[in-house]
Amino acid sequence: MHIKIILYLGRFIITKYTDDENAYIGFYECINDDCVAKELFDTAYSFCKNNKFKSIVGPVDSSFWIKYRLKINKFDLPPYSGEPYNLEYYLKQFEDNGFKICEHYTSQIYKVLSGDFKNDKFEEHYKEFIAKGYKIIKPDAKDIDKTIDEIYDLIIVLYSDFPIFKYVSKEDFKENFKGLTQIVNMELVRMAYYDNKAVGFYISIPNYSNLICNINIIKLLKILKIKNKPNDYVMLYMGVDQNHKGLGKALSKSISDELNELKKPSIGALIRDGKINQNYASEVIEDKYEYVLLSKIIEY
């Protein structure tokens, strides 16, 4: 009898785009071995140099719209829905092979709000925008397709200055996020309108941890239970038309009121350093997850 043993050591994929001087390394996996990691990164570097790229950026799993960023702390906690997850030693492997941090992100862990919680700035902005004729609503589940269309029209402009952003068509956007419509609980979704035009959005989902990966019938039953009665929420996306500055605080007021009523904790997910909403309601932030994006210049 012949037995063949194959040891899985690691992998990566390089993604390249037309008219982009950078290459993107993603789907990275490696055992905890410096020599194996060096072999992987050396191979990636040689490929990118031979193809005349300026730098390698990562981790990026093919696209801005799929998964990117490297988790660097809080490995003692279970992953939350939408969290980019990786092994703890990956940061060292990237840095040992010449990658440097180019972007930093945090996810804020918010404690359960007390019944009398109020944020004066949120309250002030909410009253101001409502007085001007803005409408902040909780969309009806039957209008989810219309809501997704409106979010696309906003997000494709608002997120265009993010690192590694790439344009996608509305059709591709809806295909990529169609699963979101099945797991979202509309209690913590908000749309803002002015003159009947969508000018802002806030999307939160129940925290399913990693149940939404490789779904089977047992996981599906757990997902349905959590969807109907979440233990906590993940605030995934927020955006406001740049012509309506300050509206983000009004949207946040509506969300914090709902969390106050539900008595649920939440996570404000994946906020890039420097964004104004990174310190929203800082008085109720208990802790922070941290993530980075890294890059390596290719030398010629």
Burial of 275 (0-12, 13-18, 19+ CB in 10 A): middle
- Tokens 């040992």 label which residue? 96
Ranges of H-type helices in the chain: 34-50, 90-96, 120-131, 144-158, 170-176, 180-183, 217-228, 247-262
Residue 260 — very low, low, confident or very high, per pLDDT cuts 50/70/90? confident
pLDDT tens, 20-59?
A: 999 999 999 999 999 999 999 999 999 999 999 999 999 9
Cα–Cα distances (Å) from 80 to 4, 83, 270, 273, 286, in that order, read 38, 6, 11, 20, 16
pTM of the entire structure?
0.90
Distance CA 202, CA 67 (A): 20
What does CATH list as the number for 112-264?
A: 3.40.630.30
| Selected residue with higher pLDDT from 274 and 1 | 274
Query: Per-residue confidence at 2, pLDDT binned at 50, 70, 90?
Result: low
Report how far residue 170's alpha carbon sits from residue 131's, in angstroms, rounded to the nearest whole number. 33
pLDDT at 4: 57
Q: Which residues have C-beta within 8 Å of that of residue 283, sequence separation ≥ 6? A: 119
Closest residue by Cα to residue 202 from 130, 245, 252: 252
pLDDT at 295 over 60: yes
Our measurement of the distance from residue 118's CA atom to the centroid of its chain's CA atoms, rounded to an integer in Å, reads 27
What does the pLDDT look like over 108-142, one tens digit per residue?
A: 998 887 666 677 888 998 999 999 999 999 999 88
Mean of pLDDT values over 77-89: 94
Per the prediction, the chain carries an average pLDDT of 91
Identify which of 112-116, 177-181, 293-297 has the greatest average pLDDT: 293-297
Task: Give the model's confidence band at 279: pLDDT under 50 very low, under 70 low, under 90 confident, else very high.
Answer: low
Domain boundaries defined on the chain? 10-104, 112-264
Nearest to 37 by CA among 84, 89, 72, 85: 89
